[in-house]
Structure 1
Amino acid sequence: MKPYVWIPVALVVAASHVQAQQNESRPDRMVRATIDGVMAAIHNDPVAAKGDADRIYRIVQQKFLPNTDFMLTTQYAVGKEAWAKATQAQRDALFRQFQTLLARTYATQLMQIRGQQTQFKYPPMAALPSSATDAVVRTQVVSGGDTMPIDYRVHKTDAGWKIYDINMMGAWMIVVYRQQFAGQLAKGGIDGLIKYLVAHNEANA
């Protein structure tokens, strides 16, 4: 039996506090931990590992969404003018439906790169000034000899760094969806956009 080692509680708390501060000051660590956590959960789940869309979506909900700020994403995608006119109930509905769309879209991408041979690389990130509240974390997905860059835009919140935009295939998702949403808003206003998102999510459930 190994001898019992007593560690002062104050020392444990202090060490945890230091680690939390380090993670908070390094958005790249948050992004890497998030991606690695999602992929590990997929690989360790026999059903998800075989490409089950629903199981992968659930993993995204559990492991990815907590480290996002898709309310901010929704606000930017809807646009300043429309967001200002929306009621709180409409904003909540837009957020719920858009977050579902984003989570399913991300899960679909993971289905295509879930193979054991896929590697995730994290290029070194330059140190950020202590006053920084926004940053871009660059990653690479290497699969079958091809390298696909995926960038994550993050911002600092009271709960730490959160992902709010993703660049895949050279396009930031906020820009892409802002263009789509503008057409829906022009045709049916905010309620029309909500109905569009609901219909889209139901069709892809």
Structure 2
Amino acid sequence: MQNLIKKYALFALVMLGLIPMTNAAAGGLQEPQQVIQNVSEQLRQRFQDKAFTRDFAQVTRFVDGVIYPHADFDVIAPLVLGKHWKTASLAERERFKNEFRTLLIRSYSRAFVEYANWTLHFQPIDAGDGKKVVVKTEVLQPGQKPVQVNYRMFQGKGGWKVYDIIIEGVSLVTNYRSSFSEDIQKKGSLSALNDSLAKRNAEALSGKGS
């Protein structure tokens, strides 16, 4: 699971606003692109305070408050659990949704320490059917190849929301689905997976885990 989390640290850097936008990309953005930009700006400004970043529990609460309105976990959680969502009880579904949300937020909150001299460039948006789009970006670093980071988004009652992130062609949803499916098979039940996630989340937020 740790390898999977590290794989998506780059997404965290983008969403946490630690990858500044290029000047050319800052103007003329469409509404879904503006969502990504605005979240990044909010978080980037807050993370200028080094004293703030030393309190990890405080950081995760802030990150959750900024990102949660723009990521629909009611959509993400069923996609991630796949067939296991259909057989889960309402209580198991709700617990998984909350623990998975905590897992992502705390993992992304830690990723800012890996920040280097990155810039973010928006590419032409894939408009899809008008209600679903793919926001395409390139993450650039001096001396390194550009990294493609794309956001699958849909327009709901609350505006544009992210439901999947694709890094270099690899989907967050697909990878977590595979990983959790293996965990459920090994542990014997979704309830056991939830217990494991809850333990790891609690340890990480208390400073005892990762």
Q: Report TM bin, short chain.
A: 0.7 to 0.9
User: Is residue 89 of structure 2 the alignment partner of residue 78 of structure 1?
Assistant: no
Distance in 2 (alpha carbons) for counterparts of 1:47 and 1:142: 28
Pairing of 1:95-174 with structure 2 (within 5 A): 95-113=97-115, 117-126=117-126, 128=127, 131-146=129-144, 147-168=146-167, 170-174=169-173
- Contact 1:135/1:155, CA 8 A, preserved across alignment: yes
The equivalent residue for 1:175 is 174
Q: In the TM superposition, what is the alpha-carbon distance from 1:55 to its structure 2 partner?
A: 4.2
Distance in 2 (alpha carbons) for counterparts of 1:119 and 1:59: 23
- Contact 1:38/1:64, CA 8 A, preserved across alignment: no
User: Is residue 97 of structure 2 the alignment partner of residue 92 of structure 1?
Assistant: no
Unaligned runs of 5+ in 2: 1-28, 206-210
Distance in 1 (alpha carbons) for counterparts of 2:71 and 2:135: 14
The equivalent residue for 2:67 is 64
Structure of greater relative contact order (alpha carbons < 8 Å, 6+ residues apart): 2
Which among 34, 37, 44 is matched to residue 39 of structure 2?
34
Distance in 2 (alpha carbons) for counterparts of 1:166 and 1:105: 15
Give the 3 Å change call, closer, same or farther, for CA 112–30 of structure 1 in structure 2: same
Q: In the TM superposition, what is the alpha-carbon distance from 1:167 to its structure 2 partner?
A: 2.2
Distance in 1 (alpha carbons) for counterparts of 2:123 and 2:168: 18
- Contact 2:76/2:163, CA 8 A, preserved across alignment: yes
Counterpart of 1:39, as a letter, is R
Q: Which runs of 4+ in 1 moved over 4 A?
A: none
Could you tell me the TM-score, scaled by structure 2's length? 0.72
SS of 2:164's partner is strand
Counterpart of 2:95, as a letter, is A
Size of the aligned set, in residue pairs, is: 175
Q: Could you say what the CA RMSD is over the residues aligned between the two structures, in angstroms?
A: 2.4
Percent identity of the aligned residues? 24
SS of 1:155's partner is strand
The Cα offsets for residues 33-53 of structure 1, whole Å up to 9 and x where unpaired, read as 22222222212x23246x654
- Contact 2:125/2:133, CA 8 A, preserved across alignment: no
Give the 3 Å change call, closer, same or farther, for CA 144–55 of structure 1 in structure 2: farther
Counterpart of 1:163, as a letter, is V
Give the 3 Å change call, closer, same or farther, for CA 53–151 of structure 1 in structure 2: farther
- Contact 1:152/1:167, CA 8 A, preserved across alignment: yes
Distance in 1 (alpha carbons) for counterparts of 2:188 and 2:156: 33
SS of 1:204's partner is helix
Distance in 2 (alpha carbons) for counterparts of 1:121 and 1:56: 26
Could you tell me the TM-score, scaled by structure 1's length? 0.74
- Contact 1:148/1:169, CA 8 A, preserved across alignment: yes
Unaligned runs of 5+ in 1: 1-22
